[in-house]
Structure 1
Amino acid sequence: MFPLFGDERRRQINLGGASSAASYDSILREAKERRLEREDQRRRQDSAVRIQAWWRGMRESARVRQVMRQAFAEDVTGINGLRCLVLIGRDQDVLGTWSTTILLGGEDSLFRLATGPDHASWSVLIRQASFLLLHSISLAPQSQYATAHLQVLNALLSPSPRTKKLGPQGSDVTIDIMRYLLNRNLYSYLATAIARIDIEAKTSPSLPPLISLVTLPLISSNPSSDMYITSLEQIFIHILTIPLLPNRLPLTSLTTFSGRLPISAIHTLPSSLPATLVSCPIEAKVHLIANLLAFTPPRYPKLPAQPLAAYLQLLAELMNSLPINALDPPEPRSSSAQQSVAGPWIDDSDSDSDSESHPQVAVVTSFEPKPILPQLDKRTRHRLQSLPSPSHINSILTATHRYTTSQPALFAFLMALCTVWPSRKDRVLGAAVAYSSGGLVRELYRGYIRSSVLGRDDRPGAIMDPANASLWPPLLFLTDLYTQALLTMGDDEFFSSMNSAVAPSKTTSAARNPLSLDDLTTFSRKLLNIAFVLYWREDQAGVMEGGVPGLPNLKWEGVREKVTKCLQAIHARDSRKPFTPPDHWLITSQIDVSSFIEAAVLEEQRLAQPVGTRPLSKRQISYLSPRLGVLHNIPFSIPFEVRVSIFRHFVANDMMNQGYDRFSRMGRNRVSVRRGRIAEDGFDKLADADLKAPIEISFIDQFGAEEAGIDGGGVFKEFLTSLCKEVFDRDRGLWLANKKNELYPNPHSYAKEAHSLNWYRFIGRVLGKALYEGILVDVAFAGFFLAKWLGKQSFLDDLASLDPDLYNGLIFLKHYSGNPEDLSLTFTVDQEEFGVTKSTELIPNGSNIPVTKENRLQYITLVSHYRLSRQIKAQSEAFFEGLSQMIDSKWIRMFNQQELQILLGGVDNPIDLEDLRKHTNYGGLYDDEEETISAFWSVVNSFNHDQRRALLRFVTSCSRPPLLGFKELLPNFSIRDAGADENRLPTASTCVNLLKLPRYKSTRILREKLLQAIHSGAGFDLS
């Protein structure tokens, strides 16, 4: 539309009122700005008024101070001067003038006003003046006036001057001043003053009067008074937590403080003191422990029962509140590889610890940040080293032995020490074991454990009850203590009865087990019940992180580890020589076996790892799988047959996961080996082969021709048994045998060469293949070497199977009643190779460290460890490397040494002929009713045990029956007709467990021919 009147614009009228709105906003904004401006001006005015008032006040205060200084100067020692002193306050010059003037006037000047008409005012003012002096000293303990201040305070609080000048009322005056200062943190100021004096400035004139002030409240008040107890409490909180307190003091002050420190009154302190000290910073608690170690040990012999128990309990609570290793934190940029005599007895490289983390498994093990350990002065470290020393432990044991009421505190102390200082645990426990020849173990069990509800069959829930907190320290300490005792206890000592009369020789003391076998039966059952509850709990996160009642520094996982270790050690003795009743170790009444097997197999499948990854630790397995946790830590609680069945399921599942079928001819590795060179050809051709795959063997005879036949599994079995016979031949130099013909790796340096280690790896793989296929091999290994298969450490009791002479020598040393230093032993071992004797140090500088009464248990442990572990470390590791390629270490950990030997070679039990006959197959003209077969079983039934074993070896190549009976023998035991020629001897094809038996018509001839064949070692028959 076009406009009617050209370009004429119409007036724009805003009907919405926008223009008025904009005007209204601007008015509001202006009003707000003016208001803020007025408020800012008012604040400025108020600030100016306050500044002016402050300035006027300061000017007036300065004027008044100046007036008071003049008044003070005119009457320094009078009541007005004292008033001015208090009003002026913290003026160092005024305080210094007053102290100096008072000292020049002597005691008369100090106490003159206390008996005059102004005595009431003086009593009030002198308290305030004393506090001003105390505050001044804390700020500048080495100032020009500090000594004068200290002397005045000492005169006011000392009994002698006050009594001399004031008579009987002087005590009230002093008590009044002392209470006033105590209420105003007397000891906090004194501690600050002492700490501000350089540690090397022992000649400082302030130190003697400072230390005198620390102890004056103790000698000026009644020991039963509140003031005395409060003063002693404050000394513990403030003075004894000063770093390196003994090193700061001159000898006279040190003697004064030590003599006046009433450790014998520690039991009178408030029950809240430990909680107060526990809440202190970590360093303060560490220094308190170090300082107590400087002043208290000389008093142990004379301490009564109550203060001794209170002292040990205090130390226990302090240590329980510290982070692990706080008493021995690692030094920055220091190497932990070297160990001293005070270090662990066994190096970590050979430890059976299972606490390492594995990155490929996401298992949460801790929700708390790692505490920062304090950096300690070397002098503090040195003082703390005495805490776990054998001499200190012995002195405590001797002191507490006088009082049965002190023993609970003793157990709590030792338990806390072992927990907070794990690297000294063996030393502490070793000293405790050696004390009174194991008497402490016996007292612990009979006094505290036997009647405890923890671990009882009818009270499984008692272990989690907070009401039983006091029962844990003695139980766990006994567990650690007895585990330590077993390290150096021979089987002869273990199975000795406490009631038996053991006549000691002139040079040795009687060797007895501190616990009877009946005690051990009850004790081990308690431990088993505790361990099972902790492994079986569904809430494994609670076990990992949950704290034990009464032991804040210990988690339930730590309890489980301690209990398990002791259980395994006791069970190992019972395995060698049973002393417990049947089914003692089983918990099958608490589980359903069939569902347990199914669940364990499913859990293992869930935890299956890719080849080449690092194996799961026991700790991780326990967290992820309760059933596998039981199988790998307390396997003896599940029947052996059940575990063998689970093992077979594990192998079958693994074979299926690998895609292999032992009965299929697809995917087989075909290998040819020469009859006379089985070991060498097997090593060359199978070194890189996947032994989990089925292997088809073809033998090459002496003429170079391949033997006829197809390997359906039997030929491989023949190859495997022949291979084992060759590689374990001791003439090859890789293996040695003990007196029982049990094998272990040769410790000779030749066996550590690269080529020999490759052979150990190969042998490990071969034995792993035998276990994988369920083929029994007639090889027996020494128990200590089998223990290494299970990741366990070997100790003194295992040494008897290796070197009986050395074992007897160490037992002699252990119980030698004379001075061991007379034997001229040092921490070294000698070994001879090629006619040259080489000496090896067991610890750094061991050749210069004599074996003494205190360290002989350490020496025994180190020698045993060297012979059983260190000498064959490389060989064993190579062997296990090969074994682990075939068998998961988790599977092996389900068995102990004896059971593992059975798994390898069968049951060393009498042969069950009924079971054998039931699972025998027949061929040719034979059946179970045939005349020759009936005669055969009649003859075999008349055989003795050795003859039956010889027959089984003749047919199957192994003299022991299968683990779960002859139904497990693959292929089954078989007898085939071998013709009617009665002059012919029976032969066998061990590869297929086949006996070829001619049709003998005479029972007598059958017996003669059969015995002749099985004892003549008739060879493998191909016909």
Structure 2
Amino acid sequence: MLPLFDDERNRRKINLGGASSASSHAAILDQAKARRMEREAQRLRADSAVRLQAWWRGVHEAKKVKAEMRRVFEGDVLGLTGLRCLVLIGRDEEVLGAWSSAMTEETLLKNDESWKVLVRQASLLLLQSVAQNPRSKYALAHLRVLGILISHELDYLLDHGLYSYLGRAISNIPLEAKSSASLPPLVSLVTSPLSSPRAFPDLVVYILTIPLLPNRLPLASLTTLSSRIPYAQFTALEPSRIVASLEGVSAAHLLANLLAFTPPRYSALPPPALGGYLHLFAALLAIFPANSFEPPKARSTPSRPTALSDSDSDSDAPASTTVRVVSTFNAPPPLPSFDQRTTKRLLVLPSPSHIHSLLSTRAPRPALISFFCSLGVSWPAKWGRVLGAVVVHTGGGLIREIYRSYVRGTGLGRDDNPTKLMDPAHAQHWPSLLFLADLYTQSLLTMGDDEFFAPASNATSAPRNPLTLDELTSFSRQLLNIAFVLYWREDQAGIAEGTVPGLNGGLRWEGAREKVTRCLQAIHARDSRRSFTPPGHWLVSSQIDMHSFVEAALAEERQLTSETDLRGRQSKAQIAFMSPRLGVLHNIPFAIPFEVRVGVFRHFVANDMLSRGRLESYGGGRMHQVHNWGAGRTHVSVRRGNVAQDGFDKLGEADLKSPVEITFIDQFGQEEAGIDGGGVFKEFFTSLCREVFDTDRGLWLATKQNELYPNPHAYATEPHSLNWYRFIGRILGKAMYEGILVDVAFAGFFLAKWLEKQSFLDDLASLDPELYQGLIFLKHYTGNPEELSLNFTVAIDEFGVTKTIDLIPNGSNIAVTRENRLQYIHLVSHYRLTKQIKLQSEAFFEGLSEMIDPKWLKMFNQQEVQILLGGVNSPVDLEDLRRHTAYGGVYDDAEETIVAFWKTVNSFDQEQRRALLRFVTSCSRPPLLGFKELVPNFSIRDAGNDESRLPTASTCVNLLKLPRYKSERVLRQKLLQAIHSGAGFDLS
């Protein structure tokens, strides 16, 4: 070895070159850093070498020690020393196999503490071995030993993951190996500890979550497991702890396995156990986001906007009176696809047969309600079918029970304290109220008005409303207060993001609001047809200042219009989020007085006109038009005998929001003169309506009450016919835009489509009385409905040819039964009231929407829209008419003929007064808010001294041309002759 000082590596290299050295200061620092890093690397290599050598020596020594212990073990397999060596050796399959093969019950169960401690540790080694390879050559020996030990060391094994290891062992046996000899002893080990209450939660978490568990076990083992599960112990389960230890996929497998084992035993389960079982299901369902089990089918974007929400929906979800809210938040990722057998078992959950079996038990109502609420949140696609099954099975009894026992006495929606609605103290009440709202809404879909209004004292067996009218009055007020608070809150972000307390699955306040609104609208629809609530019941006037409300609503609408221009059409949920007052007007408009809403509607129209330069101002309910008769006007000539066709040809693409000037061409081809400086559009419109709404033309049909609806026949869906519907919609929208009253009545179920509302079974009575009576007979039929040989089809007759239409896929092969007859009744009604006129209605509403923003109309129900179109169907108030009548020529209020005129008209009955009104204004009904709203005002002008002439009228300007009759008798005779003959229209 060289002397230390001669080692070149340790010599310090000194540069004596001074300033002339080629190395800079930076280079010297880099070299020093490099040498430092090299020394650090050498140190690490040396440390690693030391550790590696130590490890190698340890392994080498361990092998020697294990070999020695194995030698000792082989010499004392049944003794204490051998057992101690086995535990120290650990997972050695040959050693464990030799020991378990040699053990017998007598040798295992020694009364020695040291032996017991070591046996416990050995049992864990056996469990680990079986879990890793349950089909090894020693597995049966291991399982035999564990079978002997389990009853003596149960607590120790449960504490150290017995069921976790057993679950892994069963899972590691392939599905196709269900004949494996290891499975029967494994199932025996699973069931042996179940007498201990501690075992059941582990069984649920580690065994019942195994995918396709029933398919993995041989029949004998499956029977053993199924019969030994302690179902009564569901009472003691803590669902929150179970759920906390599971992932979504494991929870789905647990649901599927429970549905394979438990339903046949529902009737034998005591109510507390069934309650625990349902609470567990509710908690498990809460893990999954909506549509996890059955994602909704993607739908293409419609080519044109439409106001229809239920026009072609065949889903099982309950038909909604509001647009279903689509969350704008990111949805959780979907679950991985399941095996077909798992999916089939999960489909049992919302099936009518499963629902019926649950409802046949004595399940505690709170648990049942919790289960149904969770099912509705996680599986909305099947929710309508579930509700229908509940209604069929309980016959309204459950509705009555839930309301009287769980909803009526709660603090939710009370008039004296509505603001405490979202207090967590109400958590226990929300599930009952929301489930009741959904359930009652579903029942109304197939409840006729005769049943709805049946007296509670009716002692016959005839069906009746499950809630009395007094109860409905209280319940609807409760719902109204809840809905109003949820729409009115300025914190709409909290409504969209916050969840309802007490509900599994995290239902958001937005979803709860939709459920409440849907039920509220359905009850209000019945009250609108036949009132049963006291005056002012639906109003919230006492809670808000109406003047401020209107001003704020107008401001919100202007802001929303600008947002819509930027982002496109807004949903109801978005409108409610951005505009609380518009949310009230669009969803629960009946909470605001009708006159206020009409005023808001007129403001919306006026604002639109102002934005187009058509108005100078709008105030005091009066529009101040801009009189620019030339620029921006549409000029159209129409022939007297071809008003509809010429209007269709020339106004189809015109901007109808601008003034339209009509010139009539007489039979000789000459232009007729107009008198209003702006054409005679109102007369044109009156003539047009007379033609296009004539049922002989084939576009419209009339009910028994002479109410119009689109013709459902196939030729009405041809492109040319749809263009006519679109044109009629535009023209009718023009009338509403200009404030022209239309003397035409539409069927309520057709008007409902304008407002995205659901038509009910009772609407069918006006459309097809025979079909309605047949469906009512089926609903109340006490025999077996299958005796009637009905299936899920509907027959339609067109031009003498009968066609059969399936209501659901393969409907011709699905019989109508006691369980599904309500679904059949709903589908038949839906087809006749909605689907048959789908295309016609869409075309009509597309044209209407070009003139009237759909969200403006959503402030009204069907009856109110009819009033907007044609005025109020109330007696003609002559005093009001006289106060708002203008005079021309020599006439004034004190002139002799005018005095005689009002005296004569005052003697008319209401039919004669309506005839006069129709003669002068073209509409027999007075304006909604009185004659001050008639534009132009009702006017009377003198028409000369010739008393042989009849009075004439210019309906385009609401003008009566009245000759100066000297005799009151002659005036009466001539006036009645004119108004009843329909003659006398004059343009001069």
TM class by shorter chain equals: over 0.9
Quote the RMSD (CA, aligned, Å).
2.5
Superposed, 1:141-540 pairs within 5 Å as 141-158=134-151, 174=152, 177-219=153-195, 228-269=196-237, 271=238, 273-278=239-244, 280-329=246-295, 345-346=314-315, 354-355=323-324, 366-368=328-330, 370-400=332-362, 406-501=364-459, 503-504=460-461, 510-540=462-492
Instruction: Tell me what 1:165 maps to.
Output: none
- Secondary structure at 1:418's aligned position in 2? helix
Judge conservation of contact 2:131–2:165 (CA < 8 Å) in 1: yes
Deviation at 1:390, TM superposition (A): 1.2
Judge conservation of contact 2:320–2:518 (CA < 8 Å) in 1: no
How big is each residue's C-alpha offset from its partner over 1:447-467, in whole Å with a ceiling of 9 and x where there is no partner?
A: 011111011111112211011
- Secondary structure at 1:321's aligned position in 2? coil
Deviation at 1:754, TM superposition (A): 1.0
Distance in 2 (alpha carbons) for counterparts of 1:232 and 1:534: 43
Matched, 1:1014 2:988: no
Deviation at 1:40, TM superposition (A): 4.6
Which amino acid in 1 is paired with 2:978? Answer: A
Matched, 1:686 2:651: yes
- Secondary structure at 1:608's aligned position in 2? helix
Matched, 1:135 2:135: no
Distance in 2 (alpha carbons) for counterparts of 1:48 and 1:880: 85
Superposed, 1:753-902 pairs within 5 Å as 753-902=718-867
Judge conservation of contact 1:674–1:700 (CA < 8 Å) in 2: yes
Distance in 2 (alpha carbons) for counterparts of 1:927 and 1:296: 88
Judge conservation of contact 2:683–2:956 (CA < 8 Å) in 1: yes
Which amino acid in 1 is paired with 2:764? Answer: L
Judge conservation of contact 1:350–1:870 (CA < 8 Å) in 2: no
Deviation at 1:643, TM superposition (A): 0.9
- Secondary structure at 1:229's aligned position in 2? coil
- Secondary structure at 1:800's aligned position in 2? helix
Instruction: Tell me what 1:665 maps to.
Output: 629
Distance in 2 (alpha carbons) for counterparts of 1:648 and 1:28: 86
Return closer, same or farther for 1:349/1:336 CA change in 2, 3 Å cut-off. Answer: farther
Instruction: Tell me what 1:599 maps to.
Output: 552
Deviation at 1:421, TM superposition (A): 0.2
Judge conservation of contact 2:498–2:509 (CA < 8 Å) in 1: yes
Return closer, same or farther for 1:350/1:683 CA change in 2, 3 Å cut-off. Answer: farther
Distance in 2 (alpha carbons) for counterparts of 1:84 and 1:313: 49
Gaps of 5+ in 2: 1-17, 303-311, 616-624
Distance in 1 (alpha carbons) for counterparts of 2:63 and 2:812: 77
Return closer, same or farther for 1:381/1:842 CA change in 2, 3 Å cut-off. Answer: same
Distance in 2 (alpha carbons) for counterparts of 1:408 and 1:763: 53
Judge conservation of contact 1:698–1:711 (CA < 8 Å) in 2: no
Deviation at 1:28, TM superposition (A): 8.2
Distance in 1 (alpha carbons) for counterparts of 2:883 and 2:163: 89
Return closer, same or farther for 1:887/1:627 CA change in 2, 3 Å cut-off. Answer: same
How big is each residue's C-alpha offset from its partner over 1:289-317, in whole Å with a ceiling of 9 and x where there is no partner?
A: 11111111122112112111111111111
Instruction: Tell me what 1:361 maps to.
Output: none
How big is each residue's C-alpha offset from its partner over 1:532-571, in whole Å with a ceiling of 9 and x where there is no partner?
A: 1111111111111111112242111001111111111111
Distance in 2 (alpha carbons) for counterparts of 1:611 and 1:668: 25
Return closer, same or farther for 1:962/1:128 CA change in 2, 3 Å cut-off. Answer: same
Deviation at 1:51, TM superposition (A): 2.4
Distance in 1 (alpha carbons) for counterparts of 2:745 and 2:778: 31
Deviation at 1:950, TM superposition (A): 1.0
Q: Of 569, 586, 590, which aligns to 1:632?
A: 586
Deviation at 1:892, TM superposition (A): 0.9
Deviation at 1:23, TM superposition (A): 10
Judge conservation of contact 2:325–2:572 (CA < 8 Å) in 1: no
How big is each residue's C-alpha offset from its partner over 1:383-424, in whole Å with a ceiling of 9 and x where there is no partner?
A: 011111112112211213xx6xx1111111001101100000
Deviation at 1:84, TM superposition (A): 1.9
Which amino acid in 2 is paired with 1:138? Answer: A
Judge conservation of contact 1:679–1:723 (CA < 8 Å) in 2: yes
Which amino acid in 2 is paired with 1:866? Answer: Y
Judge conservation of contact 2:629–2:678 (CA < 8 Å) in 1: no
Deviation at 1:190, TM superposition (A): 0.9
TM-score (norm 2): 0.92
Which amino acid in 2 is paired with 1:958? Answer: C
Superposed, 1:582-731 pairs within 5 Å as 582-608=535-561, 614-661=568-615, 662=625, 663-666=627-630, 667-713=632-678, 715-731=680-696
How big is each residue's C-alpha offset from its partner over 1:121-152, in whole Å with a ceiling of 9 and x where there is no partner?
A: 22111111111000000100111111211111
How big is each residue's C-alpha offset from its partner over 1:981-1014, in whole Å with a ceiling of 9 and x where there is no partner?
A: 3333222221211122223333333222222221
TM-score (norm 1): 0.89
Distance in 2 (alpha carbons) for counterparts of 1:844 and 1:1021: 60
Count of matched residue positions in the alignment of Structure 1 and Structure 2: 949
Distance in 1 (alpha carbons) for counterparts of 2:205 and 2:898: 91
Return closer, same or farther for 1:204/1:985 CA change in 2, 3 Å cut-off. Answer: same
Return closer, same or farther for 1:346/1:912 CA change in 2, 3 Å cut-off. Answer: farther
Instruction: Tell me what 1:963 maps to.
Output: 928
Which amino acid in 1 is paired with 2:339? Answer: D
Instruction: Tell me what 1:8 maps to.
Output: none
Judge conservation of contact 1:827–1:849 (CA < 8 Å) in 2: yes
Judge conservation of contact 2:662–2:679 (CA < 8 Å) in 1: no
Distance in 2 (alpha carbons) for counterparts of 1:1011 and 1:336: 56
Return closer, same or farther for 1:635/1:334 CA change in 2, 3 Å cut-off. Answer: closer
Judge conservation of contact 1:781–1:901 (CA < 8 Å) in 2: yes
Deviation at 1:780, TM superposition (A): 0.4
Distance in 2 (alpha carbons) for counterparts of 1:855 and 1:386: 16
Judge conservation of contact 2:316–2:381 (CA < 8 Å) in 1: no
Deviation at 1:53, TM superposition (A): 2.5
Matched, 1:120 2:113: yes
Deviation at 1:659, TM superposition (A): 2.8
How big is each residue's C-alpha offset from its partner over 1:222-265, in whole Å with a ceiling of 9 and x where there is no partner?
A: xxxxxx23211111111111111111111111111111111101
Distance in 2 (alpha carbons) for counterparts of 1:986 and 1:730: 31
Judge conservation of contact 1:671–1:698 (CA < 8 Å) in 2: yes
How big is each residue's C-alpha offset from its partner over 1:727-766, in whole Å with a ceiling of 9 and x where there is no partner?
A: 0001110000000000000011111111111110100000
Deviation at 1:373, TM superposition (A): 2.1
Deviation at 1:805, TM superposition (A): 1.3
Deviation at 1:589, TM superposition (A): 1.4
Which amino acid in 1 is paired with 2:581? Answer: R
Deviation at 1:330, TM superposition (A): 6.7
Return closer, same or farther for 1:22/1:806 CA change in 2, 3 Å cut-off. Answer: same
Deviation at 1:721, TM superposition (A): 1.1
Which amino acid in 2 is paired with 1:383? Answer: R
Return closer, same or farther for 1:676/1:642 CA change in 2, 3 Å cut-off. Answer: same
Distance in 2 (alpha carbons) for counterparts of 1:32 and 1:389: 76
